Amino acid sequence: MQYGTNQARGESQAAHNNDRDHVVNFRKPFKNPYAIEWAERQEIKKTSIKLTLLTIAGHANQEMVCVLRQETIATKASQSERTVQRNIVALRSMGLYLGALWL
């Protein structure tokens, strides 16, 4: 087999990918499935508020903390930033959201 052939590159790439299987990617946040289940159980009538909560919960870590910016939440939930701001105020008034931390 000659170096530089597609087959050699493929084998080299496969070996490199196998090395990655044992590396923990600390940049990828841990997603907490309990946070999503908790958010789904909340009785919220307005779908916009529920969608904001689910988006935040979908990015919560093990400590139930989410560090997304409001702009990012808006993009992920297909909402305007102003809608996200209003929804966060509503979630706070319901006692479901305190900054980036839930009760």
Average model confidence (pLDDT) across the chain: 76
Write the pLDDT tens digit of every residue in 63-93.
Answer: 778 888 999 999 999 999 999 999 999 998 9
Tokens of 34: 């309990």
Q: Residue 5: its pLDDT value, please? A: 53
User: How much is the average pLDDT of 20-43?
Assistant: 68
Q: Residue 29: its pLDDT value, please? A: 53
The CA distance from 74 to 81, in Å, is 5
What are the structural domain ranges in the chain? 33-93
Which tops the pLDDT comparison, 41 or 65?
A: 41
